[in-house]
Amino acid sequence: MSAIADDRPRSAIDIAALRKRLARSGEIWRSLDEIAGTAEFRRFVEAEFPAIAERLPGKPNRRTLLKLMGASLSLAGLAACSRAESIVPYVRQPEILIPGKPVYYATTLSSDGFGIGAILESHEGRPTKIEGNPDHPASRGATDAVMQAAVLTLFDPDRARTPLKGGQPASYGDFLQDMAALVSQWTASQGQGAALLLEASTSPTFVAQIDALRVRYPKLKIYRHDALATPAAEAASRALFGSPLAPIYRFDRAETIVSLDADFLGEGPGRLAYAHDFVARRRVRDPTDRMSRLYAVESTPTITGAAADHRLAIKPSEVEAVAAGLNAALTGQTGASGSPIDQAWMTALVDDLKVAGRDALVIAGAHQSAFVHAAALAANATLGALGNTVELIEPPDALPVDGDLAALREAISRQAVDTVVALGANPLHTSPANLDMRKAFAGLKLLVHHGLYRDETAFLAHWHVPAAHELESWGDIRAYDGTSSPVQPLIRPLYDGKTVHELLAVLGGQFQTDPLSLVRLHWAELDDDAWRKALRDGVIANSAAKPVSVTVPPDLAGLKAAGSAGSGIDIRFVADPWLRDGRFANASWLQELPRPLTKIVWGNAALISPATAERLKIANGKVINVASSGASVDAPAWIVPGHPDETVTLSFGFGRKAGSVAALSEGYNAFRLRRGAEWFATGAALAPRENSVRVITTQHHQAMEGRAILRHASLDVFRQTPDFVRKDAPPAPAESLYPEWPYEQEAWAMAIDLSACIGCMACVSACQAENNIAPVGPDECERGQEMHWLRVDRYYAGLVDAPDTFFQPVPCMHCEKAPCEVVCPVNATVHTHDGLNAQVYNRCIGTRYCSQNCPYKVRRFNFLDHQSFDKDEAGPEQGVHNPNVSVRSRGVMEKCTYCVQRISAKRIQAQIENRDIADGEVVTACQQACPTQAITFGDRNRKDAKVVREKSAPQNYALLEELNTRPRTTYLGKISNPNGKIAGPGEATDG
C-alpha cells in the first residue's frame, strides 16, 4: 500500500444512529461526516483555512512545481489545417497571423479508441484550450474533463523525448536500420514468430494498414489488449443475429428509460451526446411540460444513478436476475420470482414501459454480461423500440484479431511468438493478475514499444519509440455512431514523436513516410475541396454507419444467466473517470479534479456501503484487505451512501509510479485483483487491517451548513406549486444600505439549471484550463487549499442506505451587494460597470477579509507560488497557459470572473463592428463545456435574452437570498419525475 499513513485516525461513525435520525427528518446532507458531526468535518467548518497551524513550506521546490504543472515558455508557431510549424521564434511573421488573436481549428480526440470532435484554440501556433465541436455527433459542442486536459499532456515534461534502445538514448535513424533488418526477416519468413499488440482503435487508416500487413506477412499474428474493453454487447448480438453489432441509443425519443447497470451519462464513447439528449427531454419551465422518467438498477453509485427518478442498488452478480425478471414480466412469463427487485417496484416499472411502447428504452451496462445485453435487446423488441430508441450498427471498432493478451501470453510460452511490437498498449500495468506478462516479455527476442510515455512496458522494451501526441498527429477516427473524422495537428511534434501510422508504414517497408500522405491516401476518394471541408468542419460528411434491421429470436439464442449470486463479497471494477486505465495518471489537473460522487482526489479507495461498514466495523480511511482468487490488495475504505451492500468497488488508474505526477498520487492498483476481462468478481473477502491511511476528499470544504442551499421537488409538486422554491425559504430584505448601481450598458448574469446538472465536472476542468488555475498537490488539497474557482457540491437527501443525490455548481455569485467589497482595505475587490465582482491582483495584499466575509465560500487564496519557475530552468510545461489570463503570483485572492477575458474580447469586436453584443455571443468556459447546457449566461438588461427567460422561470431562486447580497448567479430548482406508484407524491424540500 503506497498511501501515506494518517496521523489523525478518522472518527468512527454510528451508522445505526444516523439511520434513526434521517428517518425522522427530511434534511439534506453532504456526507456521513457532516451528518454525524465528526471531528474531521468540524475541523474544516470552524476554520476558514483548515489546519492552518500545520507547517506550510515557505517555498515549494522546483521539482514539486514541475510535478504539479502540466504545461510555460513563450512559444510560437503557426498551426494550419494543412501545415503545422515548429515552435521557434519567427524570422518572418506569417501574413495571416494577428498577434494576440487566437485561431481555431477542428480536430478529433480519442476516447477509449473512439472519436469525439473538438475545436482547438491556438495562440501563435501554441494550442491552449479545447472546446467541443458543435458539428460533431459525439460532442455536440461539449467536452469532458479528459478532453480539457489534452493540452496539459501535450506540454507534459515527462513525455518520452527520444527513442531508447536497451534503455539508452538512440536516434530514429538507428531504429530504422534495425527495423529494415526486421522487415527483411519478416519478408523471408512471411512474419513467422512475429506479433502486433494493438489497443482499441476505430481509425479507418489504421485498419487498412493492418489489413495490408496481413497480406504482406501472412503468418503475422495480430493481438488486441484493451484493458477497458466491453465486448459483451457484440457477443450478445453475435449470438442473436450471427454478426457483431453495436447499439446506438436515441434518448431524444425516449419517454421511459430503464438502465440495467448502465452509466450512460458518465461512460462510453457516446456519453456527451447521450447526456445532451437525455436532459433535453427533462427540461421543464412550465407546469404543462413533460419529462422522461429514468429507472436505474446499478451495482455501484454513478452519476446516471444520481440522475434517476428511481434507483435501486444491488450486487453486480444480481443484475442478470433483474434482466431475466424484466424480460419475463414483459412477455407474460412466470419467471420473475427470483428477481432481487421488489415486486411492486417491478410492476410499476413494467407498466411504465408498456405505456411508453416504442418510446421506451432498456439499456444494458457496457460491462454487463452478454445475457443482460440480450435481455435488454429482447425487451426493446417486445416494446417495439428497436429501430426507434435503439438502433444497431456495424461496430466502429471492428478489427479482426487472432486473440487477446491471454492468447499472446500462451503463444509466447510455447515459443510461437518471439517478436512483439506493442503499439500504445501498456500490458505490464493493465494486464490481468493471472497473466505474468513481465516474465513473458522478458523471454522475447525483440520487444518494440510505441507510446507517449516511458511507461512500465517501455522500461522492459528493447526499443521504445516516442509517440506523437494527438494534437501533433495526422490521422482519422470514428465516433460512436460510425462517423469518420479527421485528426489534424495543431503543432509539430515537440519531441519528434511518430504516429502509429508511421510505425505501421515502417513495418510495411516504407521508411520515408509523411503521416499526412498516409491518411490522405486512404481518403483518396475525397478531392482536395472535400478534404479541406472535412478538415474545416471536423467531420467527413455522410460517413455515419447505417442502422441494421434485425429480429430478436424468442429464446435469446440460448443465452443463459449465470445463476444466483454466491456467498461472499462481490467486487465491482470501474475505470477511474479521469485517469481511465492509468494512461492519464501524469495529468495533475485530472489527479486533483474531485470524483463526482466521492469527491476524492489524488488517490482511490475501496468503496463500501454503510451497512457493510457497520457489519465489519470499518471507518473511513481504515485499510482493508480485499482478497479474491488467490490475490489480494490493501486499500483504504470509503463509505458511500447508496452503495450496494456486500459489494466493494475498486477503481483502475492508480498505483502507478512511472511519471513524476503519478508518483505523487496515492492509492492501489486494482488490476492486481482482476482475472481476464471481467468487470466484477464474486466470492471475495474483506478483512480490516490495523492501520489507517489518508483519503483526501474535498466534500467537507467550503461547507455552508444549516442554510437553504439546494431546493428540489417532484414534477407533480411543481405542477401544483410552480414556485416551490419559495416554500419555507426566508424572504429577501427589501432594503439595503449598499448603493444602487445603474448598469446602463450590460448587466451580466448567470442561471444554472439543477435539473440539468449531472455532476460530470466538465465545467470545473474547463474553468481550470481557461483561467490558468494551478494544481496544488495532495498535501495542500488535504489542508483544504485547492484553487478551483468553480466547485460542484454533492448533496444527499433521505436515508443513509438509499439517498437521493443532487449536484450544485457554485461559482462566484457576483453579488450586486457584495459583502467582500466593503471589507477590503486596499480596494482590491471592486464592482465593475457591468456588474462583475472583479479582483485586482496587483492591489491585493492578502488580508483575506473578503474570503471571511463571503457567505458562499467561493474565494481562493494562493498561499504558495505554485506557478513560479526559475527563468534558467523553464520547460515546456508553461506552454499550456492562456495568454489572455494573468498567471497569478503568490499571496493574492483568486475567484471566478465570469470569464471576463471572453467578455472583453466580444465587447471589442462589437465596438469595431459598431453594434451591441448579441445574446449568446459571450459564452463562459464552464457554459461551453457543459454537455447538458445546464448553464445560461447573458446580459440581464436584454429583455429577450435567454438568461432573462431562465430567471423568470417559477423555480428560479438565489442562493442565500435572505442575506440580501443580490447574486447575479441564480439557480433553477431540481425537478424529478418519480412514479407515484412506487413513492408517494413528493413534497417540496430545501436544505
Please, what are the domains in the chain? 15-47+566-692 (2.40.40.20), 246-393 (3.40.228.10), 711-733+745-867+885-990 (3.30.70.20)
**pLDDT at 420 (0 to 100):** 96
What gap in Å lies between CA 616 and CA 339, rounded to an integer? 27
Answer whether residue 117 shows pLDDT above 80. Answer: yes
**DSSP of 524-550, one letter per residue?**
TTS-HHHHHHHHHHSS-TT-SPPP---
Residue range 25-48: mean pLDDT, rounded: 70
The pLDDT confidence band at residue 30, using thresholds 50, 70 and 90, is confident
pLDDT digits (tens, 9 = 90+) for 484-494: 999 999 999 99
The pLDDT confidence band at residue 401, using thresholds 50, 70 and 90, is very high
The pLDDT confidence band at residue 2, using thresholds 50, 70 and 90, is very low
Residue range 513-526: mean pLDDT, rounded: 93
Answer whether residue 482 shows pLDDT above 90. Answer: yes
Tell me the pLDDT of the chain averaged across its residues. 88
Answer whether residue 213 shows pLDDT above 90. Answer: yes
What gap in Å lies between CA 78 and CA 84, rounded to an integer? 6
**pLDDT at 868 (0 to 100):** 65
Q: What angle do CA 663, 665, 671 make, to 5 degrees?
A: 85
Answer whether residue 671 shows pLDDT above 60. Answer: yes
Residue range 647-655: mean pLDDT, rounded: 95
Assess contact for 480 and 248: CB atoms under 8 A.
yes
Written as nine digits, the cell of 650 is 475498486
23 CB-contact burial (10 Å; exposed 0-12 / middle 13-18 / buried 19+):
exposed
Select the more confidently predicted residue: 29 or 543: 543
Residue 850: count of CB within 10 angstroms of its CB: 23
Assess contact for 658 and 459: CB atoms under 8 A.
yes
3-state helix, strand, coil in the chain (%, to 5): 30, 20, 50
The 8-class DSSP code of residue 178 comes to H
Whether the pTM exceeds 0.85: the reply is yes
**pLDDT at 38 (0 to 100):** 77
What gap in Å lies between CA 811 and CA 790, rounded to an integer? 5
What gap in Å lies between CA 797 and CA 987, rounded to an integer? 13
What gap in Å lies between CA 817 and CA 854, rounded to an integer? 11
Written as nine digits, the cell of 946 is 435567454
**pLDDT at 79 (0 to 100):** 35
Q: Which of 326, 53, 276 is nearest to 144 (CA)?
A: 276
The pLDDT confidence band at residue 660, using thresholds 50, 70 and 90, is confident
Q: Which of 316, 318, 390 is nearest to 353 (CA)?
A: 390
Residues 6+ apart with CB under 8 A from 71: 151, 152, 154, 155, 156, 876, 877, 878, 879, 880, 881
Cα torsion for 849, 851, 856, 857, to the nearest 10°? -150
Looking at residue 890, its amino acid is R
**H helix intervals, 786-899:** 849-853
Q: Count the residues in the chain.
A: 991
Residue 604: C-alpha distances to residues 10, 204, 205, 256 (Å): 17, 36, 37, 34
Q: Which of 842, 599, 597, 573 is nearest to 702 (CA)?
A: 599
What gap in Å lies between CA 432 and CA 670, rounded to an integer? 10
The pLDDT confidence band at residue 577, using thresholds 50, 70 and 90, is very high
Q: Which of 28, 57, 31, 65 is nearest to 874 (CA)?
A: 65
Written as nine digits, the cell of 625 is 484487505
The pLDDT confidence band at residue 56, using thresholds 50, 70 and 90, is very low
Answer whether residue 216 shows pLDDT above 60. Answer: yes
Residues 6+ apart with CB under 8 A from 582: 426, 429, 430, 576, 652, 653, 654, 655, 656, 662
Phi, psi of 179 (to 5 degrees): -70, -30
What gap in Å lies between CA 67 and CA 539, rounded to an integer? 36
**pLDDT at 27 (0 to 100):** 74
Assess contact for 991 and 797: CB atoms under 8 A.
yes
pLDDT digits (tens, 9 = 90+) for 220-266: 999 999 999 999 999 999 989 889 999 999 999 999 999 999 999 99
Residue range 159-163: mean pLDDT, rounded: 93
Q: In this prediction, what percent of the chain has a pLDDT beyond 70?
A: 89
Residues 6+ apart with CB under 8 A from 161: 466, 495
Cα atoms found within 13 Å of the Cα of residue 601, Cβ hemisphere only: 28
Residue range 486-513: mean pLDDT, rounded: 93
Residue range 881-895: mean pLDDT, rounded: 92
**pLDDT at 932 (0 to 100):** 97
pLDDT digits (tens, 9 = 90+) for 294-326: 999 999 999 999 999 999 999 999 999 999 999
Residues 6+ apart with CB under 8 A from 115: 108, 109, 136, 138, 202, 269, 477, 478, 479, 483, 484, 485, 487
pLDDT digits (tens, 9 = 90+) for 776-790: 999 999 988 899 999
**pLDDT at 985 (0 to 100):** 35
Residue whose C-alpha cell is 460491462: 367
Residue 89: C-alpha distances to residues 7, 86, 124 (Å): 51, 9, 10
Residue range 614-633: mean pLDDT, rounded: 93
Assess contact for 502 and 518: CB atoms under 8 A.
yes
**pLDDT at 81 (0 to 100):** 47
Answer whether residue 35 shows pLDDT above 70. Answer: yes
The pLDDT confidence band at residue 165, using thresholds 50, 70 and 90, is very high
pLDDT digits (tens, 9 = 90+) for 921-950: 999 999 999 999 999 999 999 999 999 999
Residue 673: C-alpha distances to residues 435, 628, 636, 667 (Å): 11, 7, 15, 14
What gap in Å lies between CA 171 and CA 178, rounded to an integer? 11
Q: Is the dihedral of CA 392, 393, 396, 399 positive or negative?
A: positive
**pLDDT at 70 (0 to 100):** 40
pLDDT digits (tens, 9 = 90+) for 438-474: 999 999 999 999 999 999 999 999 999 999 999 999 9
From 55-69, 154-168, 361-375, 837-851, the region with the lowest mean pLDDT: 55-69
**pLDDT at 85 (0 to 100):** 55
